[in-house]
Structure 1
Amino acid sequence: MQMRIFKNLLQLDPSDDWMKSLPAEKRMENFNDRLNYEISSFGNLEISDADLIFFPVHRHAHYFVVCINVKESKVQVIDNKELPAGVSELDKYGDCPYKLIEAFKAYLAAGQSTLTHKLNSMPVEFLAMHWKNAENVTDCGIYVMRHMETYMGGAFENWDPGFKKHMRTNASFIFELRAKYAACIITSKLNSVKGEVMKAAKIEDKKK
């Protein structure tokens, strides 16, 4: 059975001054705390058994995914946004995939995980999905959730999350996904304001 693990959002270029001023040790501590929380929520999870580990990343006001594909020994960058002409992958992503690898290795080393050694030899791969486009600048968060939901590793050619190349043909599908994910977030048991939101939604519905 395939084990897929999803991590909390990683922000590699914090925009707030107080976050930028945090020393490297404190940033690493925060990173470790967030991972500990995520892993503990799964119960008796052994992260070394995972096949795919997903990290949503926020960089330059844009969301994308870094997937550690343990089964294929690759670190894969999954991004809906096409590279503009004259812009290289290094220009866009900088060293963020490698920063993530190093931070994750440091986290794993503290627990003596066997996954640490595997990460040392994993190349970074930028997935060239046929639905990438330069038009959509507002729905990257929806793409991130759908990519994590549907990507199973293995044969890339068989992966079909439902997106098309052009924004116009994606509009209704993205609308459906937005409603689906919003409903999941609102009704989640982890939503501490679930009752308030549901009550407000019912009031608005009665006004129609």
Structure 2
Amino acid sequence: MKWNSDSDWIIEKPSFKSRIIMNNAKYWKDMSRRQKDIADFCFHEHRPMNTSNVFKHDLHCWRFVVDFNGIRSLNEGVFIDTIVIDAWALILNKSVQYHNAQNSYLTRKFYFNTQHSSYLQGMLRATDPAVIDRMGYNARSCWHFSMKQMLQLNDLKNIQFFFIPICVNNHFIAVVVNFEHRKIQYLDNILGNCEEDSDVWKLLDIVKNQFSISLLDMEHPKALDMEYFPIEDVPFDWKSAKTNIDCGVFLMHHMEFFNGYPYISPNLLQGPQRRKLRAEYCSRIILSDLNQCRDEILSEIFKFAKRKK
């Protein structure tokens, strides 16, 4: 059976088992039954943990997978796994490519995964020049690999926004290299992280320098212009001085909707709305057209939903 639309998902007497759905039902009225069942399947507290894949995509020589334990990190009160952020970047890249093919006037974006994070942090902490050089080379290799897998050279030259998500000390941020407005933009849900001489400021300077070298290696015509790009800490209504376990939710939202300017989103201001976003991201990853095991996992979810009483 194919699960191409919500209309194919017909189950009588709906009931849910996971705490996140039962405790937040009034906020989720506009979610489809299929989306709720996907979240219920993934977040049900009494389901045994396992390593079966819920998302798989083969891209040239690279096999990308998200297992069940990874997708469960989208449950409430859990730090989102970097593999979920990486899947989100892949899905957004394919979405942007599709829509740009339909409309050449749309903003052109490219999203990196998080594999460079440890190397950038290593550069921040290291004092040995040889170690710093090696870490920089490794970070640039991650970027080169992603761009060569996803972009043609002519496409690379036309990208207006490069999104670089980074996991720093169990906190997600994003650096946006904005060629349209000629600046480096820092996206975070925490206030005060980006003061001059702070570790974050130093990290942004590292990204700025290393990414410029990376683009220069790939013969980007504007690579050297980055030297003159100012760093901007983008203000958002939802920024707070307190750390937040939902930093990955903020990151995923920023990646999808940021277009160079602060924007408004009531969905990020309240905890229940962010929990809803977690469930929506879970279902969107599993339902993605890129997911080569989608029918298999949806069949399992459908059986699970029919068994619930």
TM-score normalised by length of structure 2 = 0.54
Q: What are the ranges of 5 or more consecutive residues in structure 2 without an aligned counterpart?
A: 1-104, 123-129
Determine whether 1:65 maps to 2:174: yes
Aligned residue among 264, 268, 279 for 1:160:
264
Instruction: Kindly name which structure, 1 or 2, has the bigger radius of gyration based on alpha carbons.
Output: 2
Aligned residue number for residue 121 of structure 2: 13
Q: CA RMSD, aligned part only?
A: 2.8
Q: Which runs of 5+ in 1 are unaligned?
A: 15-21
Q: Which of 271, 275, 278 is equivalent to 1:171?
A: 271
Asked if residue 150 in structure 1 is aligned to residue 257 in structure 2, the reply is yes
CA distance in 1, matches of 2:256, 2:266: 12
State yes or no: 1:109 paired with 2:213. Answer: no
SS in 2 for 1:131: coil
TM-score by length of 1: 0.77
The 8 Å contact of residues 144 and 214 in structure 2, kept in 1 or not, is answered as: no
The question of 1:27 aligning with 2:143 is answered no
Partner of 1:119: 226
Q: Write out per-residue CA displacement over residues 27-53 of structure 1, whole angstroms, 9 at most, x where no aligned residue.
A: 344333332332234342532322111
Contact 1:147/1:161 (<8 A) preserved? no
Q: Secondary structure at the match of 1:54?
A: strand
**Compared CA separation, residues 136 and 60, structure 1 to 2 (3 A):** closer
| Distance in 2 between residues matched to 1:185 and 1:28, nearest whole Å | 31
Match for residue 95 of structure 1? 202
Match of 1:182 in 2: 282
Question: CA shift at 1:180, angstroms?
Answer: 1.8
The aligned residue for residue 53 of structure 1 is 162
After TM superposition, give the deviation of residue 189 of structure 1 in Å.
Answer: 5.4
The count of aligned residue pairs is 192
Q: 1: distance between equivalents of 2:296 and 2:132?
A: 38
Residue matched to 2:15: none
Using the TM superposition, give the Cα deviation of residue 126 of structure 1 relative to its aligned residue in structure 2, in angstroms.
0.8
* CA displacement at 1:120 relative to structure 2: 0.9
Deviates more, 1:196-205 or 1:111-120: 196-205
Contact 2:161 2:180 in 1 (8 A): yes
SS of the equivalent of 1:80 reads: coil
